[in-house]
């Protein structure tokens, strides 16, 4: 709310976290990295796509994995503070 001056993104008001919230899986960053490299240009063949995905996975650095670890720790801590209850979703 502070970030967006009391404006909520979405329809209506807050959106409750679903029980299997994707907010607890911070791999979106890694998937975005891999997808960005694999599809930077349309792959001409399936084999080329496989090679690009393999190369993208190999390009993940320890620093990137550390950032993912830090992010998941933050998200788990948020759940602990909420005592496992659903809270309104807010932007980070």
- Please tell me whether the overall predicted TM-score, pTM, comes out greater than 0.75 for this model: no
Structure tokens at 28: 């979106």
> What is the rounded distance in angstroms from the CA atom of residue 90 to the CA atom of residue 73?
17
33 within a domain of the structure (yes/no): yes
Q: What is the mean pLDDT of residues 29-41?
A: 88
Q: How many CB atoms within 10 Å of residue 81? A: 10
17 within a domain of the structure (yes/no): no
Q: Is residue 83 predicted with pLDDT exceeding 80?
A: no
Containing structural domain, residue 34: 22-82
54 within a domain of the structure (yes/no): yes
Query: In this structure, are residues 89 and 14 in contact, taking their beta carbons and an 8 Å threshold?
Result: yes
| 33 vs 92 pLDDT, higher one | 33
Into how many domains does the chain fold? 1
11 within a domain of the structure (yes/no): no
Q: What is the mean pLDDT of residues 55-67?
A: 92
65 within a domain of the structure (yes/no): yes
37 within a domain of the structure (yes/no): yes
12 within a domain of the structure (yes/no): no
32 within a domain of the structure (yes/no): yes
Q: How many CB atoms within 10 Å of residue 34? A: 19
Mean pLDDT of the chain: 76
């Amino acid at each position: 709310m502070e970030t967006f001056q009391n404006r909520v993104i979405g329809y209506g008001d807050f959106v409750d976290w679903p029980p299997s919230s994707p907010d607890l899986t911070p791999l979106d960053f890694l998937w975005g990295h891999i997808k960005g490299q694999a599809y930077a240009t349309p792959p001409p063949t399936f084999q080329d796509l496989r090679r690009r995905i393999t190369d993208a996975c190999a390009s993940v650095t320890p620093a990137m994995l550390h950032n993912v670890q830090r992010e998941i720790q933050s998200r788990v801590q948020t759940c602990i503070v909420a005592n496992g209850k659903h809270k309104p979703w807010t932007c980070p």
